Amino acid sequence: MTDLLRTLMRDEAAHLDVPPPPATEILAGGRRRVRRRRVGIGATALAVTAVAGLAVGAAVTGDGSDRPADVAADPGPTYGVALADGSRVAVGQGLATVPGTVHDLVFTSEGALVRSNQNGGASDGSGPEALTLVRPDGSTVDLGTIPEGVGPATDPSESVYALAEQDGDGFVAVLRDVSTGEEVDRVPLPDRPPSYWDVPPLALDDDHVYVGYRKETWAVDRETGEARQVVGGSGGLPDVAGGRMATTRDGSVAVTEPVTGEELMVQPIDGFGFSELSPDGTHLAVTTENEETFGESTTLYAVDTGESLDLPALGAGWGWSWTPQGDALAVGKKGITVCDVVDGCSEQPLPAGFAGDVKPGGQRFES
């Protein structure tokens, strides 16, 4: 009797139309909660990503076969370096030209989002600035123009960018697709004392939009619209990435969990200095200036372990910046230096035709 019942149940189940799991939603949720492991630069990163994408696809097919699914996880940036030389831009192995001179480059999962203008790259008096997506294969998307001033906020693991816009008497964060420029979301922002810019500067991280006001920082949940003041936030451009926030205090910089205020790391700053989180939040760069020599020294810290590395001294240039995967990056006249606290530093050549005052990606200028 038991065997007959089991057979009947199995036959009935075989005819049930069970849809596959909602892979897109599952993977999107996983990306919000699981920190990506750092991938290598260049071809190695591309190979790892391709294999991982196939593995994930097979796992969620839901039909018992090992064929890849139609959807796969967004692997985040697969390019290791983004650079600009005037109007020329290199993203991974791809090369492109954008209008005018590059102002800055920020990271998205689709490529580098490039802001440029006809004022030599400076935004002071430039008027509207061009916004262009440059993909790792060298293809580009013209995203029109944005007002001079505060640049777009991005999360390297996502394919959207955010800008604050006037909305009646207040402001709203408008999120757009980097591949099309189409609006995908509008997030109302708290009505607080204004910042130092015409519109409040934003940071985009995970499922929150962070807003910098005159002396306060607020976090707004993109899904629910819930807004709350960030513990320890001091206003201005929010330095938030990978679920961490860095704020400068008297004589130190603190890395906290921005929603709960939990303190993750505190590093002293001797004299005048500043800090910056890597785009994925895994590292913190602390730069101090020598008041006598006016020279700078930068130390790289791993936020999770506290390990550190004193970065090589730089000559003239744009200082230390980042790769999308969280390594420190600097550009000299002869090549590129990439460093992390575990493996130290390595050298790479500049792209062909790049020389002189090459601007690295990962720096966001607001003036």
The closest of 194, 102, 177 to 143, measured between CA atoms, is 177
User: Residue 358 falls within a domain, yes or no?
Assistant: yes
Distances (CA, A) of 153 to 15, 108, 212: 49, 10, 12
145 and 114 Cβ atoms separated by less than 8 Å: no
Q: What is the CA radius of gyration of the chain?
A: 23
User: Residue 218 falls within a domain, yes or no?
Assistant: no
User: Residue 134 falls within a domain, yes or no?
Assistant: no
Q: Which of 59, 78, 100 is the last residue of a domain?
A: 59
What CATH number does residue 244 fall under?
A: 2.120.10.60
276 and 246 Cβ atoms separated by less than 8 Å: yes
Q: Supply the pTM of this predicted model.
A: 0.78
pLDDT tens for the 367 residues of the chain, in order: 434 444 444 444 444 444 444 433 333 333 333 333 333 333 333 232 222 232 223 333 333 433 333 334 455 687 889 999 999 999 999 999 999 999 999 999 999 999 999 988 887 777 899 999 999 999 999 999 998 888 899 999 999 999 999 999 899 999 999 999 999 999 999 999 877 788 899 999 989 999 999 889 999 999 999 999 998 888 888 999 999 999 987 788 999 998 888 999 999 887 788 899 999 999 999 998 876 666 788 999 999 999 999 999 876 567 899 999 999 999 987 789 999 999 999 999 999 889 878 999 987 766 5
User: Residue 215 falls within a domain, yes or no?
Assistant: no
User: Residue 154 falls within a domain, yes or no?
Assistant: no
User: Residue 211 falls within a domain, yes or no?
Assistant: no
- Cα gap 331→324, rounded to integer Å: 15
Strands 82-85 and 359-360: antiparallel
User: Residue 287 falls within a domain, yes or no?
Assistant: yes
| Range(s) of the domain holding residue 35 | 2-59
Count: domains in the chain: 2
User: Residue 157 falls within a domain, yes or no?
Assistant: no
Q: Which of 36, 59, 82 is the last residue of a domain?
A: 59
Q: Which of 59, 92, 108 is the last residue of a domain?
A: 59
The closest of 288, 362, 290 to 327, measured between CA atoms, is 362
